[in-house]
Structure 1
Amino acid sequence: MASVDLITSRAGTAVAAAALETAAGRQPGAITRIALIGNPNSGKSSLFNQLTGLNQKVGNFPGVTVDRKTGVAQITPGMRAEIIDLPGTYSLYPKSLDEKVITDLLYDKTSQQYPDFVVITADASNLRRNLLLFTQLADLGLPAVLALNMMDVAEQHGVKIDIQALQRELGVPVIPMNARKGIGVAALKIVMAQQLDAPAVQFYAPDEALLPMIRQIRYYFNLHNDYLALHYAHQYRQISFLSADDKAYIGELVEQYGFEPTPRQAQETIDRYARINDILLDTVSVTRTERKEPYSNRLDRVLTHRVWGYLIFFGVLFLMFQAVFAWASYPMDLIDEGIALINSLIQTNFDGPLINLLTEGVLAGLGGVLMFVPQIALLFAFIAVLEETGYMARVTFMMDKIMRKFGLNGKSVVPLISGVACAVPAIMSARTIENWKDRIITIFVTPLMSCSARIPIYTVLIGLVVPDEPVLGIFNLRGIALMGLYLLGFFAAIFSALAMKLLLKTKERSYFIMEFPVYRWPRWKNVGITIVEKVKTFVFQAGKVIVAISVILWVLASFGPGDTLEKAEAQVRQQAVAQGTPAAEADMQVAAIRLENSYAGVFGRALEPGIRPLGFDWKIGIALLTSFAAREVFVGTISTIYSVGQDADMRTVQQKLALAKDVNGQPFFTTARSASLLVFYVFAMQCMSTLATTYRETKGWKWPLLQMFYMTGLAYFSALLVYQVLK
């Protein structure tokens, strides 16, 4: 077994690592596979970032990692390792899909992804609970090192750990660390560079009465120890890599020997904690007793209060939406005007089909996305701060009682709130929900939460019909309208969940367990990384789609079948001459008639009968059609449609839409039409990525198709009702 006290030079470490790799049958420089495993919120993701240099999302609440993440770390100059960050779990008996990722990896030694050894992260301030998982992993026979994280928190609580004694008791290297600050990472790398052995200490011995069953499973599957065979007996129904015949074989043995998993798991846990208590009595001491109540508890009395807690949370949301609209307005205007100015300069100094493609297609489409970067950045900044401080876990706890009445539970709050950013990771985070019914309902209704892709649509339409006026001197009327749309999506989600609760029948009981992390000041570096990464993803992913669609739309809107465009233009020119229409107005009429008779106009008019009752015309129809790829494409499409054939004096997206006229020459985007369109996009399922994620998480097309038809139908009839009432 490797010793923690080994100190070598950089060159010596490289030579030692190469020698150990060769002795282990690996060529020097080959990739070693290392898995990071630990309890939720024990610092795995922080350590992963320190080792790999990647900027994985790190949040101060349980359930951040919902799938395994991988990255490459340079352990020594001659040794590289693939680091696998696994979801947090309290034990090797998975209760949810995210925990099942761990057992699927660790139970199959023949898998190409099987780790060479594991780094087990443990919260030093709560070592008793964290060591339960460690003892299970050790009994699986996995070479391991214990990363004793959050040593600073332990010291603040007066907890003193004898590292050398703990190392002897556990039989593995123990590295004291503070992963958030990178303290102890160098020592951990030194240990990683050595060939670790499986712990020689056994923490739990299965009952002798079970040994005949265990040995049969062990030899049948060629397993390397008894405890792994015992886990096969416990969990064979959930182990994905076992065939139907394999599961049938284990099922027969379980029935033959009368094996009952639940009481066996309970007894194992009791026996393990008895051993852990003995270890901690010899290795851990408390040098002082906390006389004052921890500040986290004092804060929780207010922030999770049955009245004040909800009011504070509502106030936080109110502040967030005010900021998204009010604080972002100035940089948004600068970006929008800057794009318009560039367009104007290009149109003034150059001419030709390619110039028109650039200004009316590409730049018009991109301008419809780039101007919303400040709002997206602010939204993700607020969410990142809520996660970093530990407040998000409290929100989950508070909302549990409310959510249960609607067929959800407290853990559903994390996907619902995450859905405000993006539905794709939000749906994936539902893996932490143990109950099948609660998880399916959460996945189904999460897309009703207004994601960041809807912000461009909301912003443009609210700006057209809602005055930019203060309320009570400090609030902005547009910010209140924006919050109203988000609340509309939230209420639609929970009442849809209530309907599904009544429709779906299951005997499985739901429960809610959530660990409260300590409050911490946010690490502004993490907040900044989150903002940059999310904005970059939004711009580049949306930008690729928008540029492609904008180019296609420009072609479809600039050309038409046969000589239709030329005939329509000639007719309008003749009427303009006969009526003495000014040249500028005549040019506008020509642009409108050419667009209407183009290929895009033909498609739009084909859709118009179905959407006319909602107040929409054929131009809106084109935007609805293209935005099925991604919602944010709507603004880019509208910007492109209203740019084709227009002159350089037409400046911002807002101005283009404000000057749009209906067939009677009146402003097209009235309150009724804008409200109808807003309601449609609150409810509409127009995101192929979300449908693909639902398919992946539910293992079939049933739920994504139901999701799409339900949300599209809800959007259509809600928009119909709003327009018919308001017009």
Structure 2
Amino acid sequence: MNGDLKIALVGNPNTGKSTLFNVLTGLNQKVGNFPGVTVDKKTGSCRLPNGKNALVIDLPGTYSLYPKSKDEIIVFEVLADQRNPVHPDLVVMVADASNLKRNLLLYTQVADMKIPVIIALNMMDQARRSGISIDVDALSAKLGVQVVPISARQGENVAALKEAISYASAIPVQNDTIEVEAIAPDLICKIQDELQIDKPYTALQFAHQHENLRFLTPAQSDRIEEIEQEFSFHSQKAQASETIARYQYINELLSDTMRVLPSAEKEIPSNRIDKVITHRVWGFIIFFVLLFLIFQSIFAWSEYPMSLIEELFVWITAMAHRILPAGILTDLLTDGILAGLSGVLVFIPQIAILFGFISILEDTGYMARITFMMDKIMRRVGLNGKSVVPMIGGLACAVPSIMSTRNIENWKDRMITIMVTPLVSCSARLPIYTVLISLVVPDRKVAGFLNMQGLALMGMYVISIVAAVLVAWVMKYLFKAREKGYFIMELPVYRMPRWDNVLLTMYEKVKTFVFEAGKVIIAISVILWVLATYGPPSKRAEVERRYQSPEYIARFSSPSELELHHSSELLETSYAGMIGKAIEPAIKPLGYDWKIGIALITSFAAREVFVGTMATIYSVSNDEQHVSSVTTKMKEARHPDTGLPVFTVASAFSLMIFYAFAMQCMSTLAVVYRETKSWKWPLIQFAYMTGLAYLASLLVYNLLK
């Protein structure tokens, strides 16, 4: 990749920048972090018409190079620091053609940094429908750069953009926008001389941002501070005068190149739809109806493919037992690896459907409306309106959601959001909910069309959201801060979802689940198989002697009952059994046995491990001649003392509540530490969530048993 042309996509939020990134790179994408920070870095490769490869970097959306959040600082750092590994050779400025005036502010700033620029004038179809006419050739001539009109969603003119990128100038050719040196001539000149900067606007930005720029040494930052004091530099006044000058330039530019037809003055359809969608009553009713339909669909649509996957693994396991020679390696393959693998792959349909719906809500512009509607509720519980974004994102995964709290400027609001976001039920909890609901909730219709299992699943998600809001309300009184938060958001126009993008999102999320969570699940399944297969030799020898005694064998009515008790006692005397037995007194009041205790411990690495653990434990304790799916094994599980089912309505819902509230995700704890720069907050978070989980599940078990 080192010899590739590096292209940075820069633009305001909601300009279709990420859509263009997906169109250019397709499946050739990677998601990582920018060096030294937890800001997402999306990169991908693109083949250009001239045969060259391009490395495309999707930078965070920003309205200006003056940052309001940690994400936005990254944009200037990448553009200004030539030693940055993703410093671009070319910037593709993605601008919304239907809102060009606002978008051109960022363009003028980037252009003045003297990096080669191309403008991708996106959403041309939307601009035409809005009655906006842009003279692209005149705009290009006045700016001195290539301007390519495109519609990334429709794939319109993307080939022409690739052609423009292929033959773009390697040196900046854009015209000057404003007289930068006039803003603070002496200061800019001195910073340029002392730091050896050849671009005046970069020097001015150093004066504004030096305290936040990680690539500057402490000595350089201190020297810039001294220069500021020497020339009495006032950052806010300088920024205000610069912005005024830029908008004067933009107004003159657009008066010559853009025309708004009278039809554009009419109310746009999105505003008419919003009168219903964001209504203070109907808006919430529509939102909850949509949630209900989503969770009904997750169960209804995934039932058949999940059954096929379960049957496939039952068949593969039976075939492996039949074909392979009996022994440790065969047991490891069937009861360890295959059991763990089935615990991963069986939930692919539900993960895909959940993320498909989330992608559709984002693509249509509805997710932004949910954020807008929830703002007032969030403020009542002491949160910022921006807290809604990470909390909704928590439905997918808490890790990127906690990272997205960097957009919340207020410390108190940000900390409360970080502390409560893991309470929102993420996709990792979905396999647990699914398997437990299928055990104890009948697959029946209520009122002819409401699936009881879908209702139970929706109930678990609603409980998690209500819990997050209530905990936030309590924390409002525990956290002390004087800052006032604010919420500014632009609502995008409604659009039809791009089905190729929805499918791409589903593919990427499923791939992440299988390869990231799957690696952990299978690794733990193998370790668990070893712990469940072996134990202290003396104890296991004692069990074997007892079960070889004719007097003891005579106690059982059938060979199958004898085998069930034999394998159960062997598991109980294994190392895994000893661990489960050690914590059983603490979890017995919740309705759990020692086998569930093993799952609670192993799933501290990741919640998804619960199902794989159950599959491995019940595979180890099951008769080889009766291979069945993990759901069937759990349904047939009985307490050896009482003969009653292990998974009753009370114990299953108690377990779901425990997993809904408990902090069982090492990745989340790690990212909270990275975001807060202290172990204090993740430890507090772990303690309060575990305590809440225990008390809530204890209450549920005693109410339902």
> TM-score scaled to structure 2, two decimals?
0.93
Identify which of 511, 522, 527 aligns with 2:497. Answer: 522
Tell me if the contact between 1:685 and 1:712 (Cα under 8 Å) persists in the aligned partners: yes
Cα distance, 1:115 vs. partner?
1.8
Identify which of 119, 123, 129 aligns with 2:92. Answer: 119
Aligned match of 1:320: 294
Cα distance, 1:565 vs. partner?
1.5
Tell me if the contact between 1:457 and 1:634 (Cα under 8 Å) persists in the aligned partners: yes
Deviates more, 1:405-414 or 1:167-176: 405-414
Letter in 1 for 2:148: I
1:660 matches 2:634? no
Tell me if the contact between 1:576 and 1:586 (Cα under 8 Å) persists in the aligned partners: no
Q: Any idea what SS the aligned residue of 1:237 has?
A: helix
Cα distance, 1:622 vs. partner?
0.9
Deviates more, 1:32-41 or 1:191-200: 191-200
Aligned counterparts, 1:234-313, within 5 A: 234-290=208-264, 292-313=266-287
Identify which of 698, 712, 716 aligns with 2:676. Answer: 698
Tell me if the contact between 1:453 and 1:632 (Cα under 8 Å) persists in the aligned partners: yes
CA 437–103 in structure 1, closer or farther in 2 if over 3 Å, else same: farther
Cα distance in 1 between the residues matched to 2:515 and 2:239: 48
Aligned match of 1:152: 125
Cα distance in 2 between the residues matched to 1:96 and 1:658: 50
Tell me if the contact between 1:29 and 1:79 (Cα under 8 Å) persists in the aligned partners: no
Letter in 1 for 2:583: L
Q: Which segments of 5 or more consecutive residues in structure 1 lack a partner in the other structure?
A: 1-27, 59-64
Cα distance in 1 between the residues matched to 2:498 and 2:352: 17
Aligned counterparts, 1:614-653, within 5 A: 614-647=590-623, 648-653=625-630
Q: Any idea what SS the aligned residue of 2:565 has?
A: helix
1:688 matches 2:662? no
Cα distance in 1 between the residues matched to 2:355 and 2:501: 11
Cα distance in 1 between the residues matched to 2:241 and 2:265: 35
Aligned match of 2:688: 710
Letter in 2 for 1:614: L
Aligned counterparts, 1:246-645, within 5 A: 246-290=220-264, 292-348=266-322, 351-353=325-327, 354-574=329-549, 575-579=551-555, 581-645=557-621
Tell me if the contact between 2:135 and 2:258 (Cα under 8 Å) persists in the aligned partners: yes
Q: Any idea what SS the aligned residue of 1:33 has?
A: strand
Cα distance, 1:530 vs. partner?
1.3
Deviates more, 1:673-682 or 1:436-445: 436-445
Cα distance in 2 between the residues matched to 1:339 and 1:34: 45
Cα distance, 1:66 vs. partner?
5.8
Deviates more, 1:586-595 or 1:107-116: 107-116
Deviates more, 1:392-401 or 1:165-174: 165-174
Tell me if the contact between 1:33 and 1:115 (Cα under 8 Å) persists in the aligned partners: yes
Q: Any idea what SS the aligned residue of 2:5 has?
A: strand
Cα distance in 1 between the residues matched to 2:266 and 2:556: 87
Aligned match of 1:6: none
Cα distance, 1:387 vs. partner?
0.9
Aligned match of 2:149: 176
Deviates more, 1:703-712 or 1:449-458: 703-712
Q: Any idea what SS the aligned residue of 2:14 has?
A: coil
Tell me if the contact between 1:52 and 1:73 (Cα under 8 Å) persists in the aligned partners: yes
Tell me if the contact between 1:75 and 1:81 (Cα under 8 Å) persists in the aligned partners: yes
Cα distance, 1:166 vs. partner?
0.9
Q: Any idea what SS the aligned residue of 1:83 has?
A: strand
Deviates more, 1:341-350 or 1:484-493: 341-350
Tell me if the contact between 1:57 and 1:530 (Cα under 8 Å) persists in the aligned partners: no
Tell me if the contact between 1:557 and 1:601 (Cα under 8 Å) persists in the aligned partners: yes
Cα distance in 2 between the residues matched to 1:55 and 1:513: 34
Q: Percent identity?
A: 55
Cα distance, 1:520 vs. partner?
1.0
Aligned match of 2:35: none
Cα distance in 1 between the residues matched to 2:522 and 2:414: 36
Q: Any idea what SS the aligned residue of 1:259 has?
A: coil
Letter in 1 for 2:48: I
Cα distance in 1 between the residues matched to 2:182 and 2:129: 44
Aligned counterparts, 1:15-164, within 5 A: 30-54=3-27, 67-164=40-137
Letter in 2 for 1:426: S
Deviates more, 1:679-688 or 1:640-649: 640-649
Cα distance in 2 between the residues matched to 1:111 and 1:219: 22
Cα distance, 1:550 vs. partner?
1.9
CA 57–183 in structure 1, closer or farther in 2 if over 3 Å, else same: farther
Letter in 2 for 1:111: N
CA 78–580 in structure 1, closer or farther in 2 if over 3 Å, else same: closer
Identify which of 175, 186, 199 aligns with 2:159. Answer: 186
- For each residue in 1:438-487, what CA deviation from the matched residue of structure 2 results, as whole angstroms up to 9, or x when unmatched? 22322222111111111111112122222222222211122111111111
Cα distance, 1:385 vs. partner?
0.8
Cα distance in 2 between the residues matched to 1:29 and 1:726: 62
Cα distance in 2 between the residues matched to 1:78 and 1:345: 49
Letter in 2 for 1:565: R
Tell me if the contact between 2:119 and 2:145 (Cα under 8 Å) persists in the aligned partners: yes
Q: Any idea what SS the aligned residue of 2:620 has?
A: coil
Deviates more, 1:108-117 or 1:491-500: 108-117
Aligned match of 2:655: 677
- For each residue in 1:637-658, what CA deviation from the matched residue of structure 2 results, as whole angstroms up to 9, or x when unmatched? 1111112142232522222112
Cα distance in 1 between the residues matched to 2:133 and 2:699: 66
Cα distance in 2 between the residues matched to 1:509 and 1:265: 23
Tell me if the contact between 1:601 and 1:618 (Cα under 8 Å) persists in the aligned partners: yes
CA 93–607 in structure 1, closer or farther in 2 if over 3 Å, else same: same
CA 644–219 in structure 1, closer or farther in 2 if over 3 Å, else same: same
Tell me if the contact between 2:10 and 2:17 (Cα under 8 Å) persists in the aligned partners: yes
Q: Any idea what SS the aligned residue of 1:484 has?
A: helix
Tell me if the contact between 2:119 and 2:146 (Cα under 8 Å) persists in the aligned partners: yes
Deviates more, 1:585-594 or 1:187-196: 187-196
Cα distance, 1:527 vs. partner?
1.0
Cα distance in 1 between the residues matched to 2:404 and 2:258: 36
Identify which of 159, 162, 169 aligns with 1:195. Answer: 169
Cα distance, 1:183 vs. partner?
2.7
Tell me if the contact between 1:132 and 1:273 (Cα under 8 Å) persists in the aligned partners: yes
Cα distance, 1:239 vs. partner?
1.5
Cα distance in 2 between the residues matched to 1:32 and 1:40: 25
Aligned match of 1:225: 199
Number of corresponding residues: 694
Letter in 1 for 2:538: D
Cα distance in 2 between the residues matched to 1:48 and 1:374: 26
Cα distance, 1:85 vs. partner?
1.2
Cα distance in 2 between the residues matched to 1:572 and 1:724: 37
CA 435–680 in structure 1, closer or farther in 2 if over 3 Å, else same: same
Tell me if the contact between 2:183 and 2:238 (Cα under 8 Å) persists in the aligned partners: no
Q: Which segments of 5 or more consecutive residues in structure 2 lack a partner in the other structure?
A: 32-37
Cα distance, 1:505 vs. partner?
2.4
CA 249–349 in structure 1, closer or farther in 2 if over 3 Å, else same: closer
Aligned match of 1:12: none
